[in-house]
Copies of this chain bind each other. A is one copy, B any other.
Amino acid sequence: MASLQGRPPWMANNGPAKFEVTRTVDMMCHPLAASLKVAGETADARVDFALAGLTGPIPEAMKYAVRGGKALRAFLVLESARLHGINSARAQPAAAAIECLHAYSLVHDDLPCMDDDALRRGQPTVHVKWDEATAVLVGDALHSLAFQLVMETEVDAQQRFILTHTLATAAGARGMVGGQAMDIAAETAAEPLTLDQIMALQMAKTGALISWSAMAGPRMAGDKEHQLRIYGDCLGLAFQIADDVLDVVGDAATVGKAVRKDQAAGKATFVSLLGLDGAKRRAQDLVTEACDALSYYGDDAETLKEAARFVIARGH
């Protein structure tokens, strides 16, 4: 086997390595800010562990791309898992997975041939800090890592299957990428989009991953996902309306990315179609609907309700 001496030791694959965590069962409801911070740190730690031993620009830029966000999606995974009796240690890989998938989409969306953005989360985008080829590969590697991680969620095989399969459909041509393609097509369309079309577009582009995150808990537990599906769908739309509002009223330094881009491009948005006040009211109605859907969980869901209110009150 002299011909194969070049095989690097890290190519051996004996299944996922063991990520050791202290298994405290934390079924307490915590304030939002603390929960988001823990979710972000959890995702970062998992990604670091998955990339341990790798050096060079790709793993370095992968960690860079995952860091510094709100970690809203990881939080939704951990919180919906907690509501369904799945402790953090078991849900952490899925939380890290959705942050990797989200980060890949941002890295690719920021490319010059896509939205051509130089600023993301208040930092230079990956293709600016490194280069375009690195950004393409970093997005691709984060995309694969998301599926590696979600498969490491410590739940029954059937539940892991549902989590992984729904993540693939939420991410692909029928979900996030489909929405992104509709968004690009809208830029050159003869007519601006209608409200229904924008809602369909945004529920795919932004909503699919947010809804997946909110439904992760019941899916891990094999429970009904109905309440958290309504919550996630409403939250995703409210989130996008808030983004459109921020694009009009925010400043780049606070928002952490370029603003006033939609207006300059003459794109139809929730604000252009509903007016600024109308868009804010619609977002508020969606948050109320999201919170109502959680009444089933009682006080236990307080942090998720706080998250819904935060989504439309945030400055970034």
Residues on A close to B: CB < 8 A? 1, 3-8, 10-11, 13, 15-16, 51, 54, 56-59, 62, 104-105, 108, 111, 113-114, 131-134, 136-137, 139-141, 143-145, 147-148, 151-152, 157-158, 160-162, 164-175, 177-178, 180-181, 184-185, 195-200, 203-204, 208, 230, 233-234, 237, 282, 285-286, 289
Residues of chain B within 8 A of A113, CB atoms compared? 131-133, 136
| Chain B residue, CB-CB nearest to A162 | B15
Q: How far is the CA of A158 from the CA of B146 in the complex (A)?
A: 19
Select which of B161, B195, B233 is within 8 A of A151 by beta carbon.
Answer: B161
Known: A1-B230, A11-B175, A136-B111. A199 touches B6 (CB 8 A): yes
A15-B162, A136-B114 known; A6+B197 contact, CB < 8 A: yes
Given contacts A4-B199, A113-B132, A144-B172, could you give 15 more A-B pairs where the C-beta distance is less than 8 Å? A4-B237, A5-B196, A6-B197, A6-B203, A10-B174, A11-B208, A58-B173, A58-B178, A133-B184, A137-B177, A137-B180, A140-B143, A140-B177, A141-B177, A147-B168
Whether B234 pairs with A4 at a CB distance below 8 angstroms is yes
**Closest B residue, CB atoms, query A132:** B113
What does DSSP make chain A's interface, helix, strand, loop or mixed? Answer: helix
| Measured CA separation A200–B12 after assembly (Å) | 12
Pick from B108, B165, B195, B203: contact of A140, CB under 8 Å: B108
By beta carbon, the residue of chain B nearest A105 is B140
User: CA–CA, A63 to B173, complex, Å?
Assistant: 12
In contact, A54 and B178 (Cβ under 8 angstroms): yes
Task: Please determine whether A169 and B230 come into contact, CB atoms closer than 8 angstroms.
Answer: no
Question: Closest residue of chain B to A115, judged by CB?
Answer: B133
Q: Is the CB of B3 within 8 A of A282?
A: yes
CB-defined contacts of A166 to chain B, threshold 8 Å? 13
User: Considering the chains assembled together, what is the distance between the CA atoms of A56 and B180 in angstroms?
Assistant: 12
